Amino acid sequence: MKQHWRSPTALLLIAGLLPSGLAHAAPPSNPASGPAPAADSAPPCAPSPSASESCSAAYERTQTEKLAGHYVSAAAAALECSQLQCNSAIVQECVRFYSALEAETPTLVFSARKAEGGELTDVKVEMDGKLVAESLTGRPIKADPGLHNFVFTHPKRGLLRLSETARVGDKARVLEVTFTDPNAKPASSGALGAPAGPRGTPAMTYVLGGVGIIALGAFAYFRIDGVKDYNNLNDECAPGCEPSRSDPIKNKFTYSYISLGVGVAAIAGAAAVYFVGRSGGPSVSASVAPRGDGAVAGLKATF
């Protein structure tokens, strides 16, 4: 006696493609087995009222779960109402829903690595507080779209937390974490009491040096321009020149003195900060303030 096997997928496709009348038609009568049943009797494969209610409830749940963003639950409901005992119209709709959900539901692949190199497989993964993987197999798992919180736990390396968003249509998206080496020694800061090595150039050195160079340039400009104007005015009206012509020249000389003082003070401060900072001594800050006859420079050391 031959046995014919049909896969669930083939049965779903047959139920979804055949018309309702053919899906539930009674088998042809055999003359040897007696007269055919009466026309008003129910076909042998007609769904029972309880099965019909279950199919309708699963069909409605498919739509409400998807609207709520629960794609995994919606796909399970669509698979439930795709069974042969359901009405063929419902089966067709559920098969269509199931195919669409399979294409849209995100899938994730978990991966874990060692900081010193190599992969880890004996890692448990929790998603939103529920265990979803006892170990890492490389196979994808389904997830609803949205933000999820993951916890990767290794028996010897502790746990790592990760938050990622699953997006509609993502397929086999890899979420990877890296565990530190439990045998790695902490970085040594040097032997206790060993003298500190030379430090890099403090940033304040560049700041004060730049201020000093600019100030010395301003000194040269005001001094040269002031001397030129002074010589011209001396030839034209000395010694009885009007204040309106002599005062601008006096101001240029005043500006030159201030610029010179600021430049010298800034250069000296830059040198002091550089040598103190490079020696690994106390932290040093500098300040420069102009005055009418030059500038005042100050150094502040913090021990």
What is the residue-averaged pLDDT of the chain?
77
Domains contained in the chain, number: 3
Q: What pLDDT was estimated at residue 144?
A: 95
Q: What pLDDT was estimated at residue 256?
A: 83
Distance CA(262)–CA(105), nearest Å, equals: 70
Same domain, 243 and 165: no
Q: What pLDDT was estimated at residue 204?
A: 79
Q: What pLDDT was estimated at residue 47?
A: 53
Residue 120 C-alpha from the chain's centroid? 23
CA angle 54, 58, 63 (to 5 degrees): 155
Same domain, 96 and 114: no
Within a domain: 41: no
Q: What is the pTM for the complete model shown? A: 0.46
Same domain, 240 and 159: no
CATH number of the domain to which 111 belongs: 2.60.40.1120
Distance CA(24)–CA(287), nearest Å, equals: 96
Among 259, 228, 233, CA closest to 244: 233
Within a domain: 35: no
Same domain, 279 and 292: yes
Same domain, 162 and 93: no
Within a domain: 249: yes
Per-residue pLDDT averaged across 137-163, rounded? Answer: 95
Same domain, 216 and 281: yes
12-55 confidence digits (pLDDT tens) = 444 444 443 333 333 444 444 444 444 444 444 455 557 778 89
**Looking at the predicted structure, is the pLDDT value of residue 279 above 70?**
no
Among residues 55, 74, 103, the one where a domain terminates is: 103
Q: What pLDDT was estimated at residue 96?
A: 93
Q: What pLDDT was estimated at residue 193?
A: 46
Within a domain: 197: no
pLDDT band at 292 (very low <50, low <70, confident <90, very high): low
Structural domain of 140 = 107-179
99-136 confidence digits (pLDDT tens) = 999 999 999 999 999 999 999 999 999 999 999 999 99
Distance CA(59)–CA(166), nearest Å, equals: 25
Within a domain: 12: yes
**Looking at the predicted structure, is the pLDDT value of residue 10 above 50?**
no
Distance CA(140)–CA(186), nearest Å, equals: 36
Between 34 and 60, residue with greater pLDDT = 60
**Looking at the predicted structure, is the pLDDT value of residue 187 above 80?**
no
**Looking at the predicted structure, is the pLDDT value of residue 56 above 70?**
yes
**Looking at the predicted structure, is the pLDDT value of residue 61 above 90?**
yes
Within a domain: 84: yes
Same domain, 231 and 165: no
